Amino acid sequence: MENLSVESIGMALRAALLKGLIREEDTSVIFFDLVYLESRIRRLSSAYPKNTLHGLALKANPLTRILEFLRRIAPRFGVEAASIGEVFMALKAGFHPNQVVFDSPVKTMADLEFALKEGVHVNVDNLAELERVSRLMASFSESMPGTIGLRINPQIGLGTILGSSVAGEYSKFGVPMKFFRAELEEAFHTHRWLTGVHLHIGSQGCAMQMLIDGIGILYDFALEMNEKRAKTGLPPISVFDIGGGLPISYQSGTTAPSMEEYVMKIAERAPQLFDVNSFKLITEFGRWTYTNSGWTVSRVEYVKRDPAINTAMIHVGADLFVRECLNPLDWQHEYTVFDRDGNLKGGCDSKPYNLAGPLCFAGDILARNVPLPKVEEGDYIVIHDTGGYTFSMWSRYNSRQTPRIIGYNNDRFDILKERETHEELRGFWE
Ligand SMILES: Cc1ncc(COP(=O)(O)O)c(C=O)c1O
């Protein structure tokens, strides 16, 4: 089962209400099922070979308490950092620099120097950045502790979600392989320290075969470069970063590609990646790891009943669900209605519902035309599968307070982050 069941969510919701964890001011709360999250992490560990560093994409879920949880249950896991700020957060959370992968496409000279000196794995994004790294490496008097890879766009095509597809003919990320093959070869013939390759095809919306094809192209390239590097006495490319991107299911009843099958297919297409003496494998899964483990509940403040449509006015909109509100066709969740005591509501109202957020623009509508049971003031709407790319994309527009975030392990509940106070909120703007 990929998605948490309505029954298990209902049980947790009722228990949280009974324990008083959803207070009057908690107009919305984000929950994480930590047992489920742990099962995802364990699946990653057992699916991949021992030479793998799982650098979970921090941008999907940067909560400190979740990072602590990860450190506790999977101390060999690392993180992928999309900014120097995320590198800093990772180091502060106790990750060893060699468990941190730094991937930003706009690193400054200071970012690069800091990361290289700390010893994190740096994926260079483009040829101009490579030039900068080359100058930096020449300026260091001692050898640097970290490793360096280059992001290559295999130009394999676009997935179904344009906004998160990054391996088309054009992409703002990486060095496009077809256009700059000669420059890429030159780079790998020249730089002794350039011992890694990196690709990331897209996030959600990319078929498994597309990810495999991208990996295949880069694998062939790496093997070819290694033959040439061997002839000139350069160390081989030994770090192969496959990025993230395995899609998940947002709709119960639909099946997403399995991680285990993905690993089997990678092994068929690129067998040497599984040879611990040849390569260290890096993965960067964010959505697959986190999203299905989380859900969000909002109290219904009002219901507007127009002739053709009802509108449930709730306490989260484009602040928590920026992608869903701006690109509703690409990002769709499931929704369940519970009454004020947490009992599941049944049936289907005669008119469908729009779920409208609290923000001051017309597009702040999380979902349109959803068939739901009759929704009333004080009910709770659960938005499923919100554990990744939701709170991490929080928007400050309209200055709403960030919600309480609660983790649970069966019937044990733990507040992972407190609801923001008015003073903390004001502090953001100071
Ligand atoms: C470079 C890179 N790595 C990893 C990821 C994580 O992707 P996902 O969460 O789909 O696994 C992203 C997300 O966009 C990314 O840009």
Atom of ligand 1 at shortest range from CA of 166: 16
Mention every residue, 6+ apart, whose C-beta is less than 8 A from residue 20: none
The whole-number average pLDDT for the span 256-269 is 97
CA 241 to centroid of ligand 1, rounded, Å: 12
Q: From the CA of 80, how far away is ligand 1's center (Å)?
A: 9
SS3 call for 269: helix
Closest ligand 1 atom to residue 389 Cα is 9
- The pLDDT score that the predictor gives to residue 144 is 87
Question: What integer pLDDT is reported at residue 253 of this predicted model?
Answer: 85
Rounded average pLDDT over 47-71: 97
- How far is the C-alpha of 429 from the C-alpha of 175, rounded, in Å? 38
Please answer whether residues 415 and 404 qualify as being in contact, where contact means their C-beta atoms are separated by less than 8 angstroms.
yes
The token pair that represents 377 in the structure block: 């003031």
Residue 337, pLDDT score: 98
Diameter over CA atoms, the chain: 76
Average pLDDT of the segment spanning 32-60: 97
Ligand 1 centre to CA of 381 (Å) is 29
Q: How far is the CA of 203 from the centre of ligand 1 (A)?
A: 6
d(CA 257, CA 287): 13
Q: Which amino acid is at 172?
A: K
Dist. CA 289–CA 40, nearest whole Å: 6
Q: Name residues whose C-beta falls within 8 Å of residue 363's C-beta, 6 or more positions apart in sequence.
A: 318, 325, 326
Which atom of ligand 1 has the smallest separation from the CA of 286?
9
Contact 313, 301 (CB under 8 A): yes
Instruction: Give residue 362's pLDDT.
Output: 97
Residue with CA nearest ligand 1 atom 16: 200
Give the C-alpha separation, 112 to 118, whole Å.
10
* Residue whose tokens read 């495999």: 212
Percent of the chain's residues with pLDDT above 70: 100
The atom of ligand 1 lying closest to the CA of 244 is 11
To the nearest 10°, the Cα dihedral for 126, 128, 132, 138? 90
Pocket test for ligand 1, best of 77, 79, 80 (most atoms within 8 A of CB): 80
Which of the listed residues 198, 284, 291, 386 should we mutate to test ligand 1's pocket, taking the one with most ligand atoms within 8 A of CB? 284
How many angstroms separate the CA atoms of 131 and 124, rounded? 10
pLDDT at 143: 86
CA–chain centroid gap for 403, Å, is: 20
**Which numbered atom of ligand 1 lies nearest the CA of 123?**
1
Cβ(157)–Cβ(89) under 8 Å? no
Q: What's the Cα-to-Cα distance from 417 to each of 281, 292, 309, 403, 404, rounded to whole Å?
A: 33, 19, 36, 8, 6
Chain-wide mean pLDDT for the chain? 97
Is 320 within 8 Å of 91 (Cβ atoms)?
no
Task: Name the DSSP letter for residue 425.
Answer: H
Q: What are phi and psi of 110, to 5 degrees?
A: -65, -40
- How many angstroms does the Cα of residue 151 sit away from the middle of ligand 1? 13
CA–centroid distance, 282 to ligand 1, in Å, is 12
Q: If you measure from the C-alpha of residue 57 to the centroid of ligand 1, how many angstroms do you get, rounded to a whole number? A: 6
- The predicted-structure confidence for 330-368, as pLDDT tens digits, reads as follows 999 999 999 999 999 999 999 999 999 999 999 999 999
Give the Cβ contact number of residue 162 at 10 Å.
Answer: 12
Find the mean pLDDT for residues 395-404.
Answer: 98
How many alpha carbons lie under 13 Å from residue 114 in its C-beta half-sphere? 14
Q: What's the CA-to-centroid distance between 36 and ligand 1, angstroms?
A: 21
Residue nearest to atom 3 of ligand 1 (CA): 243
d(CA 408, CA 223): 46
Q: In angstroms, what is the span from residue 393 Cα to ligand 1's centroid?
A: 14
Rounded to the nearest angstrom, the distance between the alpha carbon of 243 and the centre of ligand 1 is 6
Q: Which atom of ligand 1 is nearest to the CA of 245?
A: 10
> Among the atoms of ligand 1, which is closest to the Cα of residue 203?
10
Report the atom number in ligand 1 closest to the C-alpha of 103. Answer: 1
Backbone angles phi, psi at 37, to 5 degrees: -60, -45
How many other C-beta atoms lie within 10 A of the C-beta of residue 303? 16
Q: Which domains can be identified in the chain, with CATH numbers?
A: 6-32+291-428 (2.40.37.10), 36-289 (3.20.20.10)
**pLDDT tens digits, residue range 138-177?**
999 888 899 999 999 999 999 999 999 999 999 999 999 9
For residue 142, what pLDDT is reported? 86
> What local confidence, expressed as pLDDT, does residue 265 receive?
98
Q: Which atom of ligand 1 is nearest to the CA of 198?
A: 1
- Out of 203, 240, 285, give the residue to mutate to test ligand 1, the one with the largest number of ligand atoms within 8 Å of its CB: 203
Closest residue by Cα to atom 14, ligand 1, is 203
- Pocket residues for ligand 1 (CB within 6 Å)? 57, 60, 80, 103, 200, 203-204, 243-245, 284-288
3-state secondary structure at position 78: strand
Q: Flag whether pLDDT at 3 surpasses 80.
A: yes
Residues 238, 278: contact at Cβ < 8 Å?
yes
Q: pLDDT tens, 306-328?
A: 999 999 999 999 999 999 999 99
Q: Could you tell me the distance, in angstroms and rounded to a whole number, from the CA of residue 244 to the centre of ligand 1? A: 5
CA of 56 to the centre of ligand 1 (A): 9
DSSP 36: H
Looking at residue 259, its pLDDT comes to 97
Residue 230: enclosing H or E segment and its boundaries? helix 208-231
Q: What is the pLDDT of residue 112?
A: 98
Percentage of the chain lying above the pLDDT 90 cut: 97
How far is Cα 14 from Cα 22, in angstroms, rounded to an integer?
10
CB 157 within 8 Å of CB 206: no
Look at residues 76, 130, 73, 82 and name the one whose alpha carbon lies nearest to residue 104.
82
399-423: average pLDDT = 98
> What does the alpha-carbon distance between residue 303 and residue 301 come to, in Å, rounded to a whole number?
7
Number of CB atoms found within 10 A of residue 231's CB: 9
State if pTM tops 0.85.
Answer: yes
